[in-house]
Structures are given as C-alpha cells and as structure tokens.
Amino acid sequence: MSLYSQSPNQSRQPHLRQFKTRSTLPLLPNSLWKIETGVVKTLTWLEDGSTVVLGLWGPGDIVGKALSQVEPYQIECLTGVEATNLPVSEWHPLTSVLLRHIQQAEELMVIRRYKKTDIMLVKLLTWLAKRFGREIEQGRLIDLRLTHQDLGEILGSTRVTITRTLSQLEQQGFIERFSLSRLVLREEDFWHYEI
C-alpha cells in the first residue's frame, strides 16, 4: 500500500535524498519524510537548553513537523539516512502508520517513567535491540553508534550517569561494548536484571 498518490495532473515522483550522520532533515512546510534506510531521532529542547528526545525512527517510519505540535522541533540523523520527501497533499493518512507512531512514542514514555536510571537504561537497550538490533553470535547487536550523551538525552539523564551505568552492566555481563559506541545485548541474561 502506497503512502502517497499522484493526481492525474502530477507527474512528480517523491524524491529520495541522502543525509549524513548528525545532519538534520529539513522541516519543509506541509511535508513529511519517509525513512527508507537508517535511523533518525526527533527532538526538542527546553528554555534551559536541555534536550528532550521525542522518538527514534527507522525504515518505514514517517516523521515530520506535520505530525507534531512541539516547538522547536528537529529531526537528526543518528546514522546515514535515505529518506523520501512526501508532501502532505500527496499523502494518504494511513491508520497503521499513525498507530505505529503513537505506539512508539508511548513505549518511550513508559521507559522514561521508571525511577531508577539502571532500569530505564535496561528497558531502553532492550527496546533498541528489538527495534533496531540484529542477531549475532554473542547476542543482539545495537549498531546505532549512540553516544552516552544520546542515551542520556533519550532518558532525561546525564552522560556521566549513563557511562557509569553502562560500565556496571558490562561488568555484570549483560552487555558487551565494541568500538564506535556499538554494543551487544545479551538478552537471555537481561531478564534476570529486570526482576
């Protein structure tokens, strides 16, 4: 099922664009982005400059200012990204896309509601592994190259706290860290931590 349609008068095809890691997707008026490859985060910031991560989105997800009431609003690439621009006038609002958008935002809201940073981080890593991870021999590889600052912003915590908590999880054998901020989640052991 297509996310866009062409009227008989329109011959323009949606335009696929490429974006580099840490670049931003332009906020075009009355337009959305369909993520084809890669991962982006949507975010805003408060008056004191602190960042609030609104969501993490991957292939097949739709993002854009038209889906948000938040000001300011930004879409930042966490990896290299290919995205198709979809003018709202050509987009049929699909119930499944909107439901997935809402469900993902709610999942992150629940994760951020836990009181203890270690539990929030465990829940977030589990969610990232399911959503964006891939199976390798040691467990599920989360290859998003998220910095400790990124993880802190997602959870409303500090970089220092995230670094300390990741070190504890690694010492306990729940995760294995690789270069470039990649890590492996040993899911079979993780449920013990959550109890």
pLDDT, tens only, 9-60: 343 456 899 999 999 999 987 888 999 999 999 999 887 888 889 899 999 9
Q: Let me know: does 129 contact 140? Beta carbons within 8 Å.
A: yes
pLDDT, tens only, 116-173: 999 999 999 999 999 899 999 888 999 888 899 999 999 999 999 999 999 999 999 8
Residue tagged 């009355």 (tokens): 30
What's the pTM value of the predicted model, to 2 decimals? 0.69
Mean pLDDT of the chain: 83
